[in-house]
Amino acid sequence: WEERKLGEVSNIKTGSSDLQDATDNGEYPFFVRSEKIERSHRYLFDGEAILIPGEGRLGEIYHYINGKFDFHQRVYKISNFTDFKVSGMYILYYMQHNFKRHALKFTVKATVDSLRLPMLTDFDIKIPLEEEQTKIGSFFKQLDNTIALHQRKLEKL
């Protein structure tokens, strides 16, 4: 496996929307700094992306999307995986398992923990061959789906 920086294998940017841009009946998902996904009438990006908040519960909230969406000015969009021949799904699961420790080690303390761009771009990530990335991402997605199914069954009981 090759060790690379996240900024070397993806494009990382923040949004330009604010919470006041949310609307109840918007056509597109609008990612803000929480687990809740709002709606918006516009989209800032169209494609595969991982979105994480720049403040608050660092390393705990991740959104994955492949399509059109809007995102808040304090939300980081990690994208353009195919340009670098990496799997977005693999990056998502790698970050879910490894990023929180890194983020909390380098957090900027204010009233809440805060994430800055260099914390993302400098995050070390181990990258296997493309075929292996795809298999790993698919395996964890399938595992997440199974867990969600059993969680719904448990809630019904």
pLDDT tens column, 13-55: 999 999 999 999 999 999 998 899 999 999 999 999 999 998 8
Higher pLDDT, 83 or 50: 50
pTM score of the predicted model:
0.83
CA distances from 156 to 143, 151, 152 (A): 20, 9, 6
Tally of domains within the chain: 1
Nearest to 105 by CA among 92, 115, 97: 115
Using CA atoms of 80, 86, 92, 97 in order, give the dihedral in degrees to the nearest 10. Answer: -140
CA distances from 109 to 12, 106, 127, 138 (A): 22, 9, 30, 36
Number of C-beta neighbours around residue 106 at 10 A:
13
The token duo for 78 is 């990690």
- Check whether 150 has a pLDDT greater than 70: yes
d(CA 36, CA 39): 10
Mean pLDDT, the chain, integer: 89
Strands (E), 33-122: 37-40, 45-53, 63-71, 75-79, 108-109, 113-114
Question: In this structure, what CATH number is given to the domain that contains residue 26?
Answer: 3.90.220.20
Range of the domain at 15: 2-156
